[in-house]
Amino acid sequence: MSDTAPASNLEKFTPRVFSGIQPSGGLTLGNYLGAMKRFVDMQDAGTHETVYCMVDMHAITVWQDPADLARNTRELCAGFIASGIDPERSILFNQSQVPEHAQLGWIFNCVARMGWMSRMTQWKDRAGKNQQNASLGLFAYPALMAADILVYHATHVPVGEDQKQHLELTRDIAIKFNNDFGVDFFPVTEPVIEGAATRVMSLRDSSKKMSKSDPSDASRINLTDDADAIAKKIRKAKTDPEPLPETLEGLEGRPEARNLINIYAALADQSAEAVLAEYAGAQFGQFKPALADLAVAKLAPISSEMARLMQDQPEIDRLLARGAERAREIATPILKRTNEIVGMIG
């Protein structure tokens, strides 16, 4: 991979945000705070065009039941809209409906090196001990992710902390392509990993991130949980017996407390410092009900709106078709030019 940081070439590109979420079922508070809420904030800021994608082709790198995949894709679309993504102001679409992703993905498979891919920690974690039995798609996953981003010449990509290495690989692919072909065609995209909740941790084990794949349902808050379930999970969240400190330094060595403070801060649109200023000296017996009330107030409208939207499947499908059409308006000329640069006759 590149040793020296490249000079940024972003100023020559339209400011454009791209991000994606896999429709592999079940959205958690981690997805909401680490991804969706930030996507909405970037849309509402109005400084960038915003393009958001359900990455079903990434989801099938591991087995997905076909009926579940289709339902989860629609549910994720409903989740995006219920969280505040406006399908008019943002481009919201499903990856497989825009074939340019796969086409550019193939070219990037030929740019990326085996060694780069083998170093991806997510590949190592997900393939586990039995790499020989993992799909080729799981290995190539980060090259497709680079294509998702670069087929829109996206300049900024909001993601959670866990995607940082994939974003670095995206930059390496852009740089190598530009160098190999002697062009300045692909942007060297900036990851946007900021805010209090780029890594929401499990409510049961603060060394693990909150994840839909955790076997314990008590470890996570699902966007579909009702008010009772949310309150119960927060009440039972693992904590320590100390009162809350006055400053961030006081949270050193207290990962459970830190996680709950971060969740509160992100839900309330406050800094962690401001939350501590308000709750310094409070016991968890006092703080947890406040957090539960806040979480219910923010999440309950999202889950009920998701349920409402899911009643009207034709409307979701219509929105997805329209989103794909708009996405292709950007992707088609970029792929065409890429093919020309590579020497492929169009």
Alpha helices in the chain (DSSP H): 29-31, 37-45, 56-59, 66-83, 100-109, 114-118, 121-127, 136-150, 164-181, 227-236, 255-268, 272-279, 284-310, 313-342
Under a CB-based contact definition with an 8 Å cutoff, are residues 71 and 313 in contact?
Answer: no
Distance CA 245, CA 272 (A): 11
Partner interacting with residue 147 (select from ligand TRP, ligand AMP, none; CB below 5-8 Å by kind): none
| C-beta nearest to ligand TRP: residue | 20
- 149: contact with ligand TRP by CB under 6 A: yes
Half-sphere exposure of 314 (CA within 13 A, CB side): 0
Calculate the CA 289 to chain-centre distance.
Answer: 28
Distance CA 224, CA 229 (A): 10
Partner interacting with residue 157 (select from ligand TRP, ligand AMP, none; CB below 5-8 Å by kind): ligand TRP
> Strand, helix or coil at 307?
helix
The single residue among 75, 148, 172, 225 that binds ligand TRP, judged by CB under 6 A, is 148
Partner interacting with residue 61 (select from ligand AMP, ligand TRP, none; CB below 5-8 Å by kind): none
Distance CA 87, CA 38 (A): 16
Partner interacting with residue 30 (select from ligand TRP, ligand AMP, none; CB below 5-8 Å by kind): ligand AMP
CB of 205 to ligand AMP, least distance (A): 12
Choose one: 16-24, 65-73, 109-117, 276-284; the region binding ligand TRP (CB under 6 A): 16-24
> Both tokens of residue 299?
């999440």
Number of residues binding to ligand TRP, judged by CB under 6 A:
13
The single residue among 145, 230, 237, 324 that binds ligand TRP, judged by CB under 6 A, is 145
The single residue among 51, 55, 244, 302 that binds ligand TRP, judged by CB under 6 A, is 55
Partner interacting with residue 261 (select from ligand AMP, ligand TRP, none; CB below 5-8 Å by kind): none
Choose one: 141-149, 220-228, 236-244, 334-342; the region binding ligand TRP (CB under 6 A): 141-149
Which among 173, 122, 179 is positioned nearest to 143, based on CA atoms? 173
Distance CA 220, CA 279 (A): 23
> Both tokens of residue 173?
């692919």
> Both tokens of residue 325?
């059409």
CB of 117 to ligand TRP, least distance (A): 14
CB of 37 to ligand AMP, least distance (A): 10
The single residue among 28, 61, 97, 163 that binds ligand TRP, judged by CB under 6 A, is 163
| C-beta nearest to ligand AMP: residue | 34
Which positions touch ligand TRP (CB under 6 A)? 18-20, 22, 55, 58, 145, 148-149, 157, 159, 163, 166
